Chain A
C-alpha cells in the first residue's frame, strides 16, 4: 500500500467517524426535527395538491395555474420549491430519511453502553465520587456503627421501592440503589416504533392500495379490480337529514361477491366499514346517477342499460357540471353523461335532463352531443339512447393495507416508550457509610435525569435518613428546604 492510499483510507475513516458522530448527535436530531416541523407547517398552511391531481402532470399544471390569482408571481417559485406538494418532495423525504437513519445509528451507538450500565451495577465507588454529584448529602459524626447506618439507609431506600445492593467491609459499607432500571430502554422503544411506523407506511404504499373511485349507482354492481375477483352490489344508498337540514346518516346496503358468489352483506356507514379478506369498503361520498339505456334499433339488442354515476366534475358548455361516463362497442365509443349544474341555475341543462357527448375513445374526437329528456329516446345511426330516470350512487373508498397492523404495533411501542421514559425516569443512589473517616460519616449521592423531580425525592430521602440515623434528634427544627444540593448536615 503506498502513502497516498494510506492517507486516503485515514481520511475516509475519519470522515466516516465524523458522519457517525453527526448522526448520533442529539443536536443534529433536534435540527432535523425542527426542519421537519417547519416543512409540516408549510404543508398545513399552504394548499396541497390532491392525490387525483398529482397523478397526471397535465392536471397538476392546470391546478397550479388555477392558484395564480391567489399567489400571483410567487406561484412559480412556490411550485419550484414543491410547496404545493410538500409531503411528496425529495427534500421532505430526505429529511425524514435522515431522521430514520439518525434514530437507527443513535440506537446502535447507545445500546451497548446502556446495556452495560443496566447489566453491571457499580456498587463500590471512591469517596471523591460523593463530592462531585449534582445531588449529594453528607451526615457527619455518626453516633452509630457503619453497619447500623447502612441498615437505616437500606430501610429508607427500600421503603421508597429502590432495589438495593450492599457490600460490607471492615470499616465501611457501600450501598447502591436504583429504581426504574430498565426505563432507559424506553427511548429505544420509541425510536424503534418510529422506524417501524415509517417502514410500515412505505410497505403499505408498495403492497397495498387505496382507491376512492369506486362509484356504484343504486341496484348496480361493479368490479373492485386491483387484481381481486370481488365485485360489489349497491342495494341502495340512503341519506337522512335532521329537521334543521344537517346530515344525520349516510348508509349503503352493500353485497360483496367473490367470483360471482355472494360472500358478505352489510350496511356501511361512515364509521362502520365492511371488511372482506383484508379489503375494506368505506362510505366516502354520494351523488346523483342517471339510468341510461342504449339499444340497437335494427336488432332490438340492448347494448347498455345501467346507472351512470355522475361522480366527476368537468367543464362542459362553459360551466363545471357533474359528469359520468360509460363505453360502448368494447370501449371504442366513450359516452359522457352531463347533468345539470348544481351550484347555480342552469340555463342549458334543466333538471330532469342530461346531455350525452359521444366520442371516439382512441383519438378523443367528438362525434355528436345531444340533450335528452327523461323517457324521450333519441336515435342516431340505428342506435337509440334513452334517459330512463335519476338515481343515487354511493362512492366507496376501497382500501387494502397489509401493513396497518404493524402501524398499530409501532404506535403502541412509541406510546409505551414515551410513558416509560417520562413517567418512570431512572434513579440511582450510592451510599457510603465510612466508620474510618474522621468524623465517621455517611455519604449520599444520587443521579437522575434533569428536571425529573428527583431533587424533591432526594431531599425527602435525606430527611428520612437523618431521622433514621439519629431518631432521638428531635430538638432541631428540620425542613426539607434545608437540604440544598451538597449541603452537609451534622448530627
Chain B
C-alpha cells in the first residue's frame, strides 16, 4: 500500500509535468486539440495524486496530513483540484501554464523530504480535527494559488496587451471567484484551529507564530475583499494584494520549519 502511494505520486508528477508542457504548447500554437489533451492529462495527474493520498491514508489510518511530505502533496493536490474547477468554470486553459509550475515545485520539494509513514505524536492525536482542519487548509491554499496565477496574468496584461491571455476583467473575476472559495475556508481553518487549540492547549488563541502567520494570510485576503471594489484599489493594487496573499500562504505553509512555537512538531 505504501509503495502504491509512492508509485501514484511518481505517476502524478510525470502526468502533471506532461500537462504543463501540453498547456505551454497550447499557448504557443493555440491548438484546441492540444488544449483538450492538456486538460485530459492534467485530470489524469489529479486522479493519480488523489490515489496517492488515498493509499497513504489507508496505510496511515488517518488523513495524510501529519508531516511535511504529506502536507506538501496535499497542498499540491488542493491546487490541482482548484485549478480544474476554475478551468472548467471559465474555460480558461492558459491559466494552467501559470498554476502548474507551483504544483510541480511543491511535488519536487515533496520528493526531497522523508516520505515514511510516521505515527502521530500526542498533540496530533485527534483524527477528526486533524483531517478537517488540514483538508480545509489545503483547499484554501489551493484556491489562493489559482488566484495568484490569475493575478500574475492580470499584471502581465496591464503592462501590455497580450493576445493569448484573457481580458483583464475575466482575470479579475477568476481571482475573485478563487478567493471566494478559499477565503471562507481560511476562516474555517482559523476557527477549527482555535477549537483544537482550546481542547489541546487550553486556549483558543495564543499568538503562536504559525497561527499568527495564518491570521496574516487571512487578513491579506480580508484586505483584498475590501479593496477589489474600491476606486483606486481595483485592478493592479488588488492583484498585488493577491500576490502578497499567496506569498503569505507559502510562508505560513513552510512556517513549521523556521517559526517554531507549538506547531513545530509537523515541521519535518
A228-254: contact bitstring with B at CB < 8 Å (1 yes, 0 no)? Answer: 000000000000001000111110000
Q: Are A415 and B188 in contact (CB under 8 A)?
A: yes
Q: Please provide the chain A residues from 422 to 469 with a CB less than 8 Å away from any CB of chain B in the complex.
A: 422-423, 449-451, 453, 455
- Kindly identify which residue among A44, A246, A269 contacts B119, using a CB–CB cutoff of 8 Å: A246
Mark out the residues of chain B between 188 and 215 whose CB falls within 8 Å of any chain A CB in the assembled complex: 188, 191, 194-195, 198-205, 207, 209, 212-213, 215
Spell out B's residues near A (CB within 8 Å).
118-119, 121-123, 125-126, 172-173, 176-177, 180, 183-184, 187-188, 191, 194-195, 198-205, 207, 209, 212-213, 215-216, 219-220, 222-223, 226-230, 233, 248, 255, 259
Q: How far is the CA of A246 from the CA of B183 in the complex (A)?
A: 35
Find out whether the CB atom of A453 lies under 8 angstroms from the CB atom of B177: yes
| Given A271-B125, A271-B200, also A44-B213 (CB < 8 A) | yes
Collect the chain B residues with CB atoms within 8 Å of residue A411's CB. Answer: 191, 194
- Does A419 count as interface, using CB distance less than 8 angstroms? yes
- Which of A13-21, A24-32, A346-354 lines the interface with chain B? A24-32
A280-B202 contact, Cβ under 8 Å, with A270-B122, A419-B184 = yes
- In the bound assembly, the distance between CA atoms of A401 and B226 in angstroms comes to 33
Cα-based distance from A378 to B195 in the complex (angstroms)? 51
Q: How far is the CB of A381 from chain B (nearest CB, A)?
A: 44
Inter-subunit contact A249/B207 (CB<8 Å): no
Given A26-B226, A451-B228; A418-B184 close (CB under 8 Å) = yes
Nearest chain B residue, comparing its CB with the CB of A44: B212
Q: Are B229 and A418 in contact (CB under 8 A)?
A: no
CA distance A27 to B248 in the complex (A): 22
* Complex contacts, B172 vs chain A, CB 8 Å: 451
Interchain CB contact under 8 A, A270 and B200: yes
The answer to whether B119 touches A282, judged by C-beta atoms less than 8 angstroms apart, is no
Task: Check if A140 is an interface residue, CB within 8 A of chain B.
Answer: no
Other-chain contact of A33, B195, B223, B259 (Cβ < 8 Å): B223
Most buried by A among B118, B122, B229: B122
Which residues of the partner chain A approach B195 to less than 8 Å between Cβ atoms?
A: 408
Verify B205–A201 contact, CB threshold 8 A: yes
Residues of A within 8 A of B223 (CB): 30, 33-34, 37
Also in contact, A250 and B122, with CB within 8 A (given A29-B226, A453-B177): yes
A449 to B172, CA, bound (A): 14
Is the Cβ of A33 less than 8 Å from the Cβ of B219? yes
Question: Smallest Cβ distance from A210 to chain B, in angstroms?
Answer: 6
User: In residues 370-417 of chain A, which contact B (Cβ within 8 Å)?
Assistant: 397-399, 401, 404, 407-408, 411, 414-415
Look across to chain A and name the residue whose beta carbon is closest to the beta carbon of B120. A248
Nearest to B214 among chain A residues (CB) is: A44
A to B CB contacts below 8 Å, 10 in the list: A33-B219, A44-B212, A248-B121, A269-B125, A284-B201, A404-B198, A407-B204, A411-B194, A422-B184, A449-B229
Contact residues in B for A167 (Cβ distance below 8 Å) = none
Closest to B130 in A: A271
A residues within 8 A CB of B118?
A: 246
Whole-angstrom CA separation of A87 from B208 in the bound complex: 11
Q: Which residue of B lies closest to A451 (CB)?
A: B176
Whether a CB of chain B sits under 8 angstroms from the CB of A287 is: no
Q: Which of A28-72 contact B (CB under 8 A)?
A: 29-30, 33-34, 36-37, 40-41, 43-45, 48
Q: Inside 8 A of B194's CB, which chain A residues have their CB?
A: 407, 411
CB of A399 within 8 A of CB of B213, answer: no
Name B173's contact: one of A248, A249, A419, A453 (CB within 8 Å): A453
* A486, CB-defined interface residue at 8 Å: no
Contacts A44-B259, A269-B125 given; indicate if A33 touches B222 (C-beta within 8 A): yes
- The CA of A284 and the CA of B202, in the complex, are separated in Å by 9
| Bound form: Cα–Cα A269–B204 in Å | 17
Q: Name the residue on B nearest A396 (C-beta).
A: B202
Q: Does A273 touch B at the CB level, under 8 Å?
A: yes
Q: Given A40-B219, A271-B126, check contact A30 B230 (CB 8 Å).
A: yes
- In the complex, the chain A residue whose C-beta lies closest to that of B245 is A37
Interface centre among A48, A404, A418 (most CB of B within 10 A): A418
Chain B hits for A44, CB < 8 A? 209, 212-213, 216, 255, 259
User: Nearest 10 CB-CB pairs, A to B?
Assistant: A451-B176, A282-B202, A44-B212, A399-B202, A37-B219, A397-B202, A270-B122, A271-B126, A44-B213, A411-B191
